Amino acid sequence: EVQLQESGPGLVKPSQSLSLTCSVTGYSITSNYWGWIRKFPGNKMEWMGYISYSGSTSYNPSLKSRISITRDTSKNQFFLQLNSVTTEDTATYYCARWEGYSGPFDYWGQGVMVTVSS
């Protein structure tokens, strides 16, 4: 069974970096696409980006140069780093697997709530 689990700090100070890990079991991250999606208070959802099976990445331009998604294939993990956070980055962060154009984001982590506050 494919399982994803996010981990990372639940509280980050403004101007600092937010770093999250998504640990995947039951499937290799060297296949398919692996993304980060967040849900803000008030229910808006935002696709942040993904890392592909080959290690290539695609990011939401709204995040400009603040975002980086990387991976460690030996640990079957991928990572989100978001720099220079503000209170507007307070959200629940989800990692998810995407099959590509042939399917949906089909497996999701439980989500981790991150609050940006001093």
Partner 1 sequence: DIQLTQSPSSMSASLGDRVSLTCQSSQGIGNYLSWYQHKPGKPPKPMIYYATNLADGVPSRFSGSRSGSDYSLTISSLESEDTAIYYCLQYDEYPYTFGAGTKLELK
Give 48: exposed, middle or buried? Use CB within 10 Å, 0-12, 13-18, 19+. buried
Closer to partner 1 at the Cβ: 102 or 118?
102
Please tell me whether residue 88 binds partner 1 under the rule CB under 8 A.
no
Per CB under 8 A, which of residues 98..117 are in contact with partner 1? 98, 101-106, 108-111
Sole binder of partner 1 in the list 12, 24, 96, 114 (CB under 8 A): 96
Residues lying near partner 1 in the complex (CB under 8 A) are found at: 37, 39, 43-47, 58-62, 94, 96, 98, 101-106, 108-111
